[in-house]
Amino acid sequence: MSKQTKKNVKMIDVTNKKVTKRTAIAEAFINLNTVTKEKIYKDRIIKGDVISVAKTAGILAAKKTSDIIPLCHQIPLNSVEIEIINKPKGLQILSKCNSASKTGVEMEALLSVSITALTIYDMCKSIDKSIEITKIRLLSKKGGKSGNYKR
């Protein structure tokens, strides 16, 4: 057994930070075959309405981010918008999260696209074993001490 070094783990103190308006947009891409996409859009997936269920799961995930990511602050979300765009090789998932808080909403946006994609995977896995989730990434953020970011 190797000797481990003791590491400090802590939640960052945001007491002295100012409340500012913050926005983050994240994306994920889920590769699906043509037959699976057709079944999704013709509402022929046995588990039900894939798009509605996946969007709902993504919104719920954003609201529960601090319960899932250990050092993430609990923040009030003003809105979460999930968009699922049909692309030639699959679906692009976008999440836009807004808050007025002392810390950013990047993790909420990233978790929401991840869970949206995983929900689509779960609902379609019985008919498509080749599903692949890719490109989970932050596209932009606004607000806060570190300023704006755009990929």
Does 67 qualify as catalytic in the annotation? no
Q: Which of 13, 43, 122, 128 is catalytic?
A: 122
Q: Are 120 and 30 in contact (CB under 8 A)?
A: yes
DSSP states of 6-42: P----PPP-TTSPPEEEEEEEEEEEE--HHHHHHHHT
Q: Are 65 and 72 in contact (CB under 8 A)?
A: yes
CA–CA gap between residue 108 and residue 124 (Å, rounded): 24
Positions marked catalytic: 122
